[in-house]
Amino acid sequence: MTRHLLSAGDLDRAGAVEILDTAERLDHALAGREVKKLPPLRGRTVVNLFYEDSTRTRTSFELAAKRLSADVVNFSAKGSSVSKGESLKDTALTLEAMGADAVVIRHSYSGAAHRLAEWVHGSVINAGDGTHEHPTQALLDAFTLRQSLGTLENRVIAIVGDIAHSRVARSDIHCFTKLGAEVRVAGPPTMMPAGIEALGVKPCFSLEQALAGADVIIMLRIQQERLDGALFPSVREYSRTFGLTQRTLGLAKPDAIVLHPGPINRGVEIASDVADAEPSRILDQVTNGVAVRMAVLYLLTGGDKA
């Protein structure tokens, strides 16, 4: 791996597999331990720099760093010097002066992680930047699928929702196609970016077309503000057309796996009885996020292999 993880598109197949294999080894190393800690990052400092609200991602990175024995600093834009007008660059230089070995950044502006990587000497991990990418989410999705399917080679994966504005969708596409999967994307025409075929995916404009014979279904969170605007008439209309229910789940393969990056809008993109029971692996995604982010931190910061 390079010094940073800014985009799933920067990873080749070997790089993605290395992260997934390392996550599996770390997960096995922690299994059965009363104290879930390993020593590789002892003495290193990881900063969680979050300009957007987050529960799963921030907590997952914090647990990952602590389980590798790193020191963790959680930085929130609210209540910090950012609220007084401090720029991202000045914040980055402050963290650099404090000796941060890795900075995990989530920001509402696309490209913020790339800018940060220009200013700091430590590793930068993109935890979601605007509508651009969220690479560790794609990796934990792939890790979860490998647990159930063994391989993504020639598997049919349907990603459904607001493809145009989803950083998860973009990272998933990069990751899954490199691992050999056939990827379909589905959503209303107003939520489908022009030229999406260039990423090696098949665009579908009906749920039936996307789910037919699918091995995996990934439902994306629909932001309510997009439904209240001009992109789609109403929540009820979206749910009726693109919502995953027990009926529409039957369009996929009988053992199809259901994923969702969270948080879930129950009754909008996915029904509660689908989200909470087999074949849902949504809680497995949360659990696996820690192992995958441990692997990323370990590989990027040159953890002590001993």
Which is the catalytic residue, given 4, 58, 107, 134? 134
| 3-state SS track over 102-167 | EEEEEECCCCHHHHHHHHCCCEEEEEEECCCECHHHHHHHHHHHHHHHCCCCCCEEEEECCCCCCH
Residue 218, classed as helix, strand or coil, is strand
How far is residue 303's CA from residue 306's CA, in Å, rounded to a whole number?
9
> Residue 57 catalytic?
yes
Order across the sheet with 156-160: list the strands: 202-204, 182-186, 156-160, 216-219, 257-259
> Residue 84 catalytic?
yes
* Chain mean position to CA 4: 16
- Please report, as a single letter, which amino acid is at residue 173: I
Residue 29, classed as helix, strand or coil, is helix
> Residue 174 catalytic?
no
> Residue 287 catalytic?
no
Instruction: Give the closest residue to 150 by CA, choosing from 287, 255, 38.
Output: 255
Which residues are within 8 A (CB) of 256 and not within 5 positions of it... i.e. 6 or more apart?
211, 214, 215, 216, 217, 249, 279
> Residue 134 catalytic?
yes
Ramachandran region, residue 182 (left: φ > 0; alpha: ψ -120 to 50; beta: rest): beta
At residue 173's C-alpha, the angle toward residues 171 and 177, to 5°, is 125
Which is the catalytic residue, given 22, 45, 57, 144? 57
How far is residue 104's CA from residue 297's CA, in Å, rounded to a whole number?
10
Which is the catalytic residue, given 4, 44, 67, 106? 106
Q: What is the length of the chain?
A: 306
**Residues with a known catalytic role:** 56-57, 84, 106, 134
